[in-house]
Structure 1
Amino acid sequence: ERERERERGVTDVLLISPGRLGSWRSRGSSAGERALQYTVGQKIHGFTVKEVTAVPDLFLTSVKLSHDATGAQYLHAARDDSNNLFSVQFRTTPMDSTGVPHILEHTVLCGSQRFPCRDPFFKMLNRSLSTFMNAFTASDYTMYPFSTQNAKDFQNLLSVYLDAVFFPCLRELDFWQEGWRLEHKTPTDPSSLLMFKGVVFNEMKGEFSDNERLYAQHLQNKLLPDHTYAVVSGGEPLAIPDLTWEQLKHFHATHYHPSNARFFTYGDLPLEQHLQQIEEEALSKFERAEPNTAVPPQKHWDKPRVDHVTCMPDALAPDPVKQNTLCMSYLLGDITDTFEAFTLSLLSSLMISGPNSPFYKALIEPGIGSDFSSSVGFDGSTRLASFTIGLQGMAEADTETVKHIIAQSIDDIIATGFEEEQIGALLHKIEIQMKHQSTSFGLALASYIASCWNHDGDPVQLLKISENVSRFRQCLKENPRYLQDKVQHYFKDNTHRLTLTMSPDERFLEKQAEAEEQKLQQKIQNLSHADHKDIYEKGMIMRPGMTRIISLQLLAVQSTTIYAFVFILVFQGIILSSSCLDRNLPDMFQLWSDIFNSPHFDDEQRLRVLVMMSAQELSNGISYSGHMYAMTSAARTLAPTADLQETFGGMDQVKFMKRIAEMTDLASVLRKLPRIKRHLLNPENMRCAVNATPQKMSDAAGEVERFMGNIAANRKERKPVRPTVVEVRPASSRSHRSPSSSCQEPHFKPCQMKTYFQLPFNVNFVSECVRTVPFSHADYASLCILARMMTTKFLHGEIREKGGAYEGGATMGGGGLFSFYSDRDPNSTQTLSAFRGGVEWARAGKFTQQDIDEAKLSVFSAVDAPVAPSDKGLGHFLNGITDEIKQRYRERLFAVTDKNLIDVAGRYLGVGQQTCGVAILGPENESIRKDPSWVVK
């Protein structure tokens, strides 16, 4: 939510000009122009240039290279963007569901030859100005990307990443922690029961608690059953304990070789420096190999197949008797045929996107299900693409009806095709997306090309979007039935079609628990006395969090000065936004006028469809973002804005939408909408911000004034409203409006509450929130540093390394709330003890000056993160955060000392010092249920 305080009756308009968008084109020596100077055949630090291509659509120049000795592939995207990105990806094609590529992804980041310390990846999070650091495991590749705005930081991170992926330690203890292990329930008690532990093991238990992801996994496994796509690359929980340490090391040796690698760099840093460092620190130590990792084409079926799977019941489903899913999935063409993939992706959007699409009208409007299945649409993530169509939240009795509707809709599309206006709107959307500049453009490019490039497709061809659009238009011109012929070929005549249904099983979780116990007992039965002793001893070694630390030797990061962007919330309300191409500016404001002046609140069926979709989406999102729901619930009794956040975006909202979805008559809701509209869309309470190029700023200002006058004239009072125009440049230091920590409601009284939500999950989501001080307070900076330091130096070890949760830590919010959290956690009350332990650790001053410095650097990487052109000036407009306020906050961060941290830990976080809230989302917990201090929901 955004909180704002302002005087009624005054409408402000902020006009923001972000400067020269795409200004590299006017410079004499841009990154793109420098890259055009490379020539095909040129040798650079062991690489040979294969292709140099200008891509004006994306304002970049691509340089394609190959490594002479190993054959490693390399693509550089030169663009005037200071947020430089590096990525290396390997084709990883497992043939079982032990999760070996996923566990390897975790384990290679646990120490390497040059940096053998414990978890250099997490240490670099604190010693870097990175804007992004992570790793991903897909079905058939593993990617390691990072981005940063600092050149020295880029070199440091590149050293760590190269050493991690090519020369990891792969220690057995790291495998035990990140993958799976047997450990006593009470590690210090060898007589206590043994249980499975491990970060990936618990992460995948959480993944398989999500019915949508469970269904999507089954869909892929069954549609592509002949090779790597038939297994779970992330790891099926009951198969993970079959993986051995030796198998992990062998998988690394056969898959993490430069001959199986694809390097991608992006930004304005010189390509030569990247190539030299990669060659000297990694590739020069390898010879060419022939990794057997290619994915063969799936054999085409001669007749369609039908299958069925089960899932856990959804207690928060919009309609408890409608919990079935049905989809038809069609195998399409090879994704390396980039134009065909582009065409099929467009065709998919035309068939399912928006309320005017054929499948929306046929499947969603009748209310047969709550929403499309999350798997619906074009999927180009596997070597052969697929298209899926179907529903979730439907009754089992409607199975045949849905099958018939899908078949009939395909026939209708073949017969009538698509309206020219629909096709034009979709191509227009692509044009807008090409021109939109995001802060993570490099990461988006790396992800966009990953799958096609992984199977030796041409990544540069993927980037030539305008060329594909022009070719598509030409195909339509030459053959008006071009799209209809595609539908006939890929859908009507396609015998490689899977119809997969899913229904809830009341004993689903019970069966899973029984299977896990059976697997556990099998493992235990094969243990010798020496094995039991080894398990206990290694469990004890892991208790201190593997303290065999060796200093991480890195060059000092050079300082950089970037405008900070601090976002705090200063008034209650809603934010509506839109964007358009310059030529469509009047049309965009006409649409806004229509929304304000002529809304339609008389279509009950349309409202029912939207309610069902919203309720289903909220229910599905809990397992994915459970820790966020826990944090929101824990905070609700601490501040009025937090209470609003729970009402509009927390578990309260999930249950509220479920109640609305269950209503048989929505007429009463429809009657309330005009009153809500009059309250919310009131021009007297409205402020506008316009972000435009300098050339279009005067036009935009004029459109805003006309828009404001138009909507004011249509109000019953006919009272003219003239907007107050305030010009503020992004770097302006003039005062606009004082920030406020929250809307202070005199009747709100903070109180403590512990809430437990029993949900059908295998893991917990835990949070504790403490009411502290707002952004404007002098202690706020110390609490931010404390949260970061406590996360990396204490909570990470206790909650993830020892506890086996996917993630855990602390964060300080702008609304004055200090929040602890854990994600996909096998523990609950033990994690609450870890939160308290973190406070005591801080109060005792068990940290070093280096710990403080690293936490400061990590916080500054967020404070100084890049800001998209479309967002420039909005911090000032929405919250009144001037450059002076930003700078004061930065100075306070710099000034934080060890005494400040010890002081705020005790004064705000100590037991009994401040009001706190606690929330747990998770499986049945009898001890909590019997504890009267908990509110059970």
Structure 2
Amino acid sequence: MDPKTTHADELAPGEVHAGFEVVSAEEVPEVDGWAYVLTHRATGARLLWLANADENRAFSIAFKTPPADDTGVFHILEHSVLDGSAKYPVKEPFVNLLKSSMQTFLNAMTFPDKTMYPVASTNVADLENLMDVYLDAVLDPNIYRRPRIFEQEGWHYELESPDAPLTINGVVFNEMKGALSDPEDVLFMELKRQLFPDTCYRHESGGNPEAIPDLCYEEFVDAHRRHYRLDNSHTVLYGDIDIDRELAFLDERFSAAEVRGEEGPNELAMQGPVSPAPLEVPLATAPDNRCVGLGYVIGTWADRERVLAADILLDTLMGSNEAPLMRRIIDADLGDDACAFVVDGMAQPMVVFELKGAKPGVAERLRALVEGACAELADAGVPCDRLQASLAQAEFNLREGDFGYPDGVALAVCAMGSWLYDEDDPLSYVRYEDACRDLGDSMGLGIFDRLLREAVVENPHSALVCVEPQEGTGTAREAEHLARIKEAMDTAWLEDVMEEARALKEEQQRPDDPADVAKLPHLTLADIAEAPAPVTSREVEAPYPCHVYDLDTHRIDYTYAYFDLERLAWPELPYAQVLACLLGKLDTRRHTAAELDCLLESTLGDFSTFIETYGDADDPLGVARPRFVVGAASLSEKVDGLASLPMEVCLETLFKDTERIRAILTQRRVAMEQGFIGSGHSAALARCRSYYSRGALVADAVSGIGFYRFLVSLLDSFDRRAASLCEVLRNLQGRIFKGDGLETSFAGAPGDVERYWEAAGDLGLMNDGHATKTQLEVPEPEPAREAFTIPANVCFVGRAAAGLTLPRDPVAYNGSWLVASRALSYGYLWNEVRVLGGAYGAGFSGTPASVMGFYSYRDPAVDPTLAAYAGAGAWLSGWDPAASDLEGFVISTVAGLDAPVKPRAAMRREDKLRISGRGPAWRAQVRQEVLDSSVDTVRALGAAVAQVGETGGVCVIGGADIIAASTAELEVSRLV
């Protein structure tokens, strides 16, 4: 059945199906299908079906939720409605679904003016189960029957004894403490406040920790009552579905929904032009984290083509170090890095210029530079070749459609970019082909010059904000504030706080009634389809081993080249990563950096160089196989450029412009620092793994904390080391890019691999017949207990070990580890670290390298989390799930293995397995081991998990005050 044609006549405008009236039907090439807009007659709910042949089906329901203050009520509601409902009264059906569903996406999202609940699955029964639970959650949640949900997800006081310090805990409270430790998040929050002083966008929809405790339970449920109404909703269905069946499904649930009062949602108003005075915002953070934001409102959501044109224009001006405006900012030496981006998905889109690592007092200079340079460019004409390159890049990205999550979820978000503001327009941000065509036809006619004047140079709606670092910590100020609150509490109030905290903990620890658990819909093993056809490669005749994947790439060609780094010495690896950072950004023998930048963007949709380390199936801890990876992609019609440009960059880059090199490496340092603040859990766990695995130790040296420290040292002494650095880079360039040991992979349009090699020849590589002896000797990893301070009000706690019984005797990897990881993450750790501890997230990860690890995300404390890790092994050893629970974990684990991925991701996954020595049958073997998992095979892993949790290495990344409060005996050093 082809949805593109089957329902074109059946769902004709004016027809009524299961209570839904069809408003419109039109073909949409961008989704390879049709779009049908319907209205539910009984409730006024709006529905969009994007019909195509995609079996990764999706559902989303969204509500217009403009905030009226900074309490984060809609963010807290987003969490809270998923904590049980009338039909499914268990404490956390969301977690139950994560444990047992075949979902390919399951989450909820709070935006500045809307809240969305999207799900996706390749299994029809599973999708309906997810829809049923989510609809009951949003329309009839337990927040009206269990007030302590608000305390758990939002905020509550805690007090261990009358003499102890008063503290605040809550999942959203801690999440936003972490988010607003990031200077960039604070900058964006304050920039919106300046640009939109009279609308909902002046408020932080996620919640400001300083304001979250102002929210009371009554206001919380009132916000739900007024906003979570079907006449305030937008539903999106996507993919190859039986529309009559699903409309009947929705009609039954919509018709039964209770209307809770007549008062409607908060107003979503439009902001008139304002140009406030520059604002300086103090923030407790490191001095290097000063940042400046310059924002301009460029129109309304209805200006779709203008928004796309602005995105292309910003890429032209700021998309690389060689872009004309970016180059001026770098040469002016105002800060460490800069970027520009369009913010859409709101009623009034805006463009933002951001300066990172800003020097003191440069905010006004940045504004003068940006507006002056833009005026000059508009008068002279924005360079047409760069505009064409940026348009080509935009068209590539739109055709590839690699959103990072299922297409149906991404398109639902896109649809809301216009539909939230105009009930008759759900498709403006789904469509793009006509807009790209119009912009291409307008090239050279001054369209972009006029846009630049209107958007920046002559714009009456703009604001300038600087986040200014100051001494002290947010944690210390919070403690002082709470101490003042406690002083005002009498004895009865203190006792009430302690009693309510105890009651909340008791409720959190109380198991669900088995009868309530049984009400949840669930799949059985019989619902699991056959495994998807494996992704296989074939070797073709070429100068070097070439593995070709026959995938539907939508006429995009992808190629990867893997150069052997085992010929390097250990101290050279960080320099190889520096080389990877620089390629594509400097002059070559044939092109200046500016010419190359334009050529790469107009010819290739993607060009990247990076180092990746692979293990060995027979010795996962002891063997490291680092490779220098050169990846590129292009539209099929540009395969000749794909064959020539990447190797020009690799072989002909000139290392002599030391100031350009300094700027690029400084930008990399800034990006890594932002990563530690925003995703410290990944960095902490990676560091822990480096204590046990040579492969992980190499990864740390080229991309982790080890490389960051190397980079900081290099930059601190750059003037002295610049000349020798250039010589080292030239030497590595000559030694790495050899034909010896090279292997490649390719996926693309039929016949393009032959065209590629015909144009590429031998890639211009020399072959020395392995004359260079392998030198790489990776040191023996050593366990450690480390803590790294960053400017944050939360922490990330990692703990890992090799799961060993004896040194060099790793526990054999088996699919049961995946089931155990899921049980630990969504069973034990969810409750102990997230629900009871207040962290935003926590998990356990077992890998084929046999390095098992725990992590927490935006965690308020160190010691309770380490204690939870220490108890994990005993919990797993005594795990006694119901048969349906085990079955659910098996099903959800298999779903993760079977989930569809984009062509680029599929070929990269198989490349990694092949280089690591795992044959094509390995994934199928692991899948079968998952299906064969039993309670006994999972329990048997408890001893290894206990060793990890009790004796494994520790890495904590977080605020200095939080780390100082720990008794874990960690070696502490400053990271950022």
Query: Distance between the aligned counterparts of 1:250 and 1:747, measured in 2?
Result: 60
From 350, 375, 386, the equivalent of 2:350 is: 386
Match of 1:17 in 2: none
Give the 3-state SS of the residue equivalent to 1:383 in structure 2: coil
What are the superposed Cα offsets for residues 754-796 of structure 1, whole Å, 9 maximum, x if unpaired?
1111233211110111203799975522222212112222111
Query: Distance between the aligned counterparts of 1:487 and 1:428, measured in 2?
Result: 19
Match of 1:640 in 2: 694
User: How far did residue 564 of structure 1 move?
Assistant: 8.0
Match of 1:463 in 2: 430
From 168, 182, 194, the equivalent of 2:141 is: 168
Match of 2:563 in 1: none
Q: Does 1:856 pair with 2:829?
A: no
Match of 1:58 in 2: 31
User: How far did residue 427 of structure 1 move?
Assistant: 2.0
User: How far did residue 747 of structure 1 move?
Assistant: 6.8
Give the 3-state SS of the residue equivalent to 1:36 in structure 2: coil
Query: Distance between the aligned counterparts of 2:372 and 2:962, measured in 1?
Result: 51
> Could you say if the C-alpha distance between residues 51 and 526 of structure 1 is closer, same or farther in structure 2, counting changes exceeding 3 Å?
farther
> Could you say if the C-alpha distance between residues 72 and 912 of structure 1 is closer, same or farther in structure 2, counting changes exceeding 3 Å?
closer
Give the 3-state SS of the residue equivalent to 1:96 in structure 2: coil
Match of 1:338 in 2: 304
- Contact 2:277/2:463 (CA < 8 Å) preserved in 1? yes
- Contact 2:38/2:47 (CA < 8 Å) preserved in 1? yes
Match of 1:425 in 2: 389
User: What does residue range 299-310 of structure 1 map to in structure 2 within 5 Å?
Assistant: 299-301=272-274, 303-310=275-282
What are the superposed Cα offsets for residues 554-613 of structure 1, whole Å, 9 maximum, x if unpaired?
153512123388997553213221111111001111102312331121111211110111
- Contact 1:297/1:383 (CA < 8 Å) preserved in 2? yes
Match of 2:334 in 1: 368
What are the superposed Cα offsets for residues 822-845 of structure 1, whole Å, 9 maximum, x if unpaired?
111112011111011111111233
Give the 3-state SS of the residue equivalent to 2:59 in structure 1: strand
User: How far did residue 539 of structure 1 move?
Assistant: 3.8
Match of 1:506 in 2: 471
Give the 3-state SS of the residue equivalent to 2:209 in structure 1: coil
Give the 3-state SS of the residue equivalent to 2:91 in structure 1: coil
Q: Does 1:242 pair with 2:206?
A: no
Match of 2:372 in 1: 408
Give the 3-state SS of the residue equivalent to 1:464 in structure 2: coil
Amino acid at match of 1:845: W
From 74, 85, 109, the equivalent of 1:136 is: 109
* Identity across the alignment (%): 23
Match of 2:83 in 1: 110
Match of 1:770 in 2: 801
What are the superposed Cα offsets for residues 684-723 of structure 1, whole Å, 9 maximum, x if unpaired?
121110101224343234345x1xx2412xx396x899xx
> Could you say if the C-alpha distance between residues 926 and 311 of structure 1 is closer, same or farther in structure 2, counting changes exceeding 3 Å?
closer
User: How far did residue 882 of structure 1 move?
Assistant: 3.8
Amino acid at match of 2:158: E
User: What does residue range 904-915 of structure 1 map to in structure 2 within 5 Å?
Assistant: 904-906=941-943, 908-911=944-947
Match of 2:732 in 1: 676
Query: Distance between the aligned counterparts of 1:520 and 1:141, measured in 2?
Result: 33
- Greater Cα shift, 693-702 or 460-469: 693-702
User: What does residue range 318-337 of structure 1 map to in structure 2 within 5 Å?
Assistant: 323-337=289-303
Could you say what the CA RMSD is over the residues aligned between the two structures, in angstroms? 2.9
What are the superposed Cα offsets for residues 132-172 of structure 1, whole Å, 9 maximum, x if unpaired?
10001011100111111111101111101111111111121
Query: Distance between the aligned counterparts of 1:565 and 1:52, measured in 2?
Result: 37
Amino acid at match of 2:796: F
Query: Distance between the aligned counterparts of 2:873 and 2:666, measured in 1?
Result: 43
User: What does residue range 163-202 of structure 1 map to in structure 2 within 5 Å?
Assistant: 163-170=136-143, 171-185=146-160, 192-202=164-174
Q: Does 1:489 pair with 2:454?
A: yes
Match of 2:538 in 1: none
Amino acid at match of 1:427: L
What are the superposed Cα offsets for residues 646-700 of structure 1, whole Å, 9 maximum, x if unpaired?
2222222222222223234122222211122223322212111010122434323
User: How far did residue 356 of structure 1 move?
Assistant: 3.5
Query: Distance between the aligned counterparts of 1:584 and 1:278, measured in 2?
Result: 46
Match of 2:416 in 1: 450
- Greater Cα shift, 663-672 or 397-406: 397-406
Match of 1:753 in 2: 784
> Could you say if the C-alpha distance between residues 365 and 265 of structure 1 is closer, same or farther in structure 2, counting changes exceeding 3 Å?
farther
Query: Distance between the aligned counterparts of 2:201 and 2:520, measured in 1?
Result: 40
Q: Does 1:297 pair with 2:270?
A: yes
User: What does residue range 306-705 of structure 1 map to in structure 2 within 5 Å?
Assistant: 306-314=278-286, 323-372=289-338, 376-436=340-400, 438=402, 440-456=406-422, 458-476=425-443, 480-509=445-474, 512-514=477-479, 516-517=481-482, 520-521=485-486, 524=489, 528=493, 531-532=496-497, 534-542=499-507, 544=509, 547=512, 550-551=516-517, 552-557=519-524, 558-563=527-532, 569-570=615-616, 571-665=625-719, 666-704=722-760
> Could you say if the C-alpha distance between residues 536 and 176 of structure 1 is closer, same or farther in structure 2, counting changes exceeding 3 Å?
closer
- Contact 2:870/2:950 (CA < 8 Å) preserved in 1? no
From 705, 708, 711, the equivalent of 2:764 is: 711
Query: Distance between the aligned counterparts of 2:534 and 2:224, measured in 1?
Result: 41
TM-score when scaled to structure 2? Answer: 0.84
What are the superposed Cα offsets for residues 56-102 of structure 1, whole Å, 9 maximum, x if unpaired?
23322111112222222211111221111111111101211111000
Unaligned runs of 5+ in 1: 1-28, 315-319, 722-742
Amino acid at match of 2:926: Y
> Could you say if the C-alpha distance between residues 356 and 919 of structure 1 is closer, same or farther in structure 2, counting changes exceeding 3 Å?
closer
Query: Distance between the aligned counterparts of 2:963 and 2:684, measured in 1?
Result: 19
Query: Distance between the aligned counterparts of 1:476 and 1:745, measured in 2?
Result: 52
Give the 3-state SS of the residue equivalent to 1:252 in structure 2: helix
- Contact 2:415/2:428 (CA < 8 Å) preserved in 1? no
Amino acid at match of 2:528: S
Give the 3-state SS of the residue equivalent to 1:573 in structure 2: strand
Give the 3-state SS of the residue equivalent to 1:575 in structure 2: strand
From 774, 781, 790, the equivalent of 2:815 is: 781
- Contact 1:568/1:815 (CA < 8 Å) preserved in 2? no
Amino acid at match of 1:587: G
Query: Distance between the aligned counterparts of 2:335 and 2:225, measured in 1?
Result: 48
User: How far did residue 523 of structure 1 move?
Assistant: 7.4
- Contact 2:38/2:48 (CA < 8 Å) preserved in 1? yes
Amino acid at match of 2:752: K
Tell me which of the two structures has the higher relative contact order, counting C-alpha pairs closer than 8 angstroms and 6 or more residues apart. Answer: 1
Amino acid at match of 2:630: L
- Contact 2:296/2:461 (CA < 8 Å) preserved in 1? yes
From 930, 934, 938, the equivalent of 1:893 is: 930
What are the superposed Cα offsets for residues 30-61 of structure 1, whole Å, 9 maximum, x if unpaired?
22222423211111111111111112233221
Match of 1:25 in 2: none
> Could you say if the C-alpha distance between residues 807 and 929 of structure 1 is closer, same or farther in structure 2, counting changes exceeding 3 Å?
closer
Amino acid at match of 2:745: A
User: What does residue range 63-142 of structure 1 map to in structure 2 within 5 Å?
Assistant: 63-142=36-115
Query: Distance between the aligned counterparts of 1:300 and 1:124, measured in 2?
Result: 46
Amino acid at match of 1:224: F
* Stretches of 4+ aligned residues off by more than 6 angstroms: 287-290, 564-568, 743-747, 773-777, 912-915, 926-932
Give the 3-state SS of the residue equivalent to 1:921 in structure 2: strand
Query: Distance between the aligned counterparts of 1:929 and 1:516, measured in 2?
Result: 18
Query: Distance between the aligned counterparts of 1:543 and 1:160, measured in 2?
Result: 21
Give the 3-state SS of the residue equivalent to 2:280 in structure 1: strand
Query: Distance between the aligned counterparts of 1:888 and 1:347, measured in 2?
Result: 49
Query: Distance between the aligned counterparts of 1:564 and 1:775, measured in 2?
Result: 34
What are the superposed Cα offsets for residues 519-550 of structure 1, whole Å, 9 maximum, x if unpaired?
64377459647734642541452452564562
Query: Distance between the aligned counterparts of 1:895 and 1:828, measured in 2?
Result: 37
Give the 3-state SS of the residue equivalent to 1:89 in structure 2: strand
